[in-house]
Amino acid sequence: MRVLITGGAGFLGFNLANCLVEREHTVLVLDDLTAGDPRRLSNRVLLNRGDVRDIPKLWTLLQGVDCVYHLAARVRVPESIHYPGDYNHVNVGGTVALMEAMRDTGVRRVVFASSGALYGEQPAQPISEDCRPNPNSPYGVSKIAAEYYVATLGALYDIETVSLRIFNAYGPGQDLPPSYPPVIPQWLRQAQTGGSLVVFGDGTQTRDFVYVDDVVDALVRAATASGASRAVINVGSGREVSMNELAERVGEATGERVNVLHNQAQSPGVSRLVADVRLARDLLGWTPTTRLKDGLCLTLERDSRFKL
């Protein structure tokens, strides 16, 4: 196939792009490089720097494309609280622009990277796709709005659409910015360098951590799965892990005795979050295969930043 990946120099994007070129697909990437790193892309990937809201540029890139992976987004939940307008412009506006350009160029399928963050607090776990979204951040709101645009415009423009609600993805190459860093690479680094692991609240809150290779496998399958158009599908590990347990697993993976500090003043976020992944099995033939302890060890082995 010939595919375009928006946001293809980001964490999920570069892993997906490199996987697809290994399978002999032609891969174009569009990324504004505000967060992405082009050095992580294979030299066989055709990188284009630009904004996903630039429709004329999209017209050029979409010529002859069989499938679009729409990953371009701003993704930091705490940041979205301070800059909701930016998150709306990029995450929602960029999605609408892409769908318009796909209509104009005749591209027939899009796989949208949505997020488990849109579920928010739910009365029961695991969370299935028919649960009513209850986002607690502008980021989550932007993702559910983008999902609706993808499905609605897809139906109007005769474009096949698949939205994957990806939970807490992690793995080698995950961004580690100075502000709002993802918890797993942050804690791995802290453990290795003798720092304390700061847990918000009492640490009993749970999350679903899914290894990047499993996410890429789901994305690849979504491009060609029959009977999945208009579907919204959870992509997670299906295993509920408390933050206290995660701290223990980080200590085991690094071989370090970690010091855990509980910050009761900081909100821990939703109390529980774990994906029901049965629909992914039924529609994509996909199941997660990487256990958390194995994924942490693979992250340490494959990411040069953790080679001390």
pLDDT tens digits, 175-187: 998 888 999 999 9
The CATH H-level superfamily of 2-170+211-237+274-288 is NAD(P)-binding Rossmann-like Domain (3.40.50.720)
Candidate list 139, 149, 170, 211, residue with the active-site label: 139
> Cβ distance 192 to 308 under 8 Å?
yes
pLDDT digits (tens, 9 = 90+) for 17-33: 999 999 999 999 999 99
The CATH H-level superfamily of 183-206+240-273+298-306 is UDP-galactose 4-epimerase, domain 1 (3.90.25.10)
Q: Average pLDDT of 221-227? A: 96
User: Quick one: pLDDT at residue 308?
Assistant: 65
Measure the CA–CA gap between 8 and 251, rounded to whole angstroms. 32
Question: What global pTM score does this model have?
Answer: 0.97
**pLDDT exceeds cutoff 90 at 237:** yes
User: Quick one: pLDDT at residue 179?
Assistant: 87
**pLDDT exceeds cutoff 90 at 267:** no
Domain ranges, ordered by start, for the chain: 2-170+211-237+274-288, 183-206+240-273+298-306
User: Quick one: pLDDT at residue 307?
Assistant: 78
Question: What are the DSSP calls for the chain, one per residue?
Answer: -EEEEETTTSHHHHHHHHHHHHTT-EEEEEE--SS--GGGS-TTSEEEE--TT-HHHHHHHTTT-SEEEE------HHHHHH-HHHHIIIIIIHHHHHHHHHHHHT--EEEEEEEGGGG-S-SSSSBPTTSPP---SHHHHHHHHHHHHHHHHHHHHT-EEEEEEE-EEE-TT----SSS--HHHHHHHHHHTTPEEEEETTS--EE-EEEHHHHHHHHHHHTT-TT-TTEEEEES-S--EEHHHHHHHHHHHHT---EEEEETTS----S---B--HHHHHHH-------HHHHHHHHHHH-GGG--
User: Quick one: pLDDT at residue 178?
Assistant: 87
pLDDT digits (tens, 9 = 90+) for 145-171: 999 999 999 999 999 999 999 999 999
Q: Average pLDDT of 130-156? A: 98
User: Quick one: pLDDT at residue 104?
Assistant: 98
Active site residue 139: yes
User: Quick one: pLDDT at residue 180?
Assistant: 87
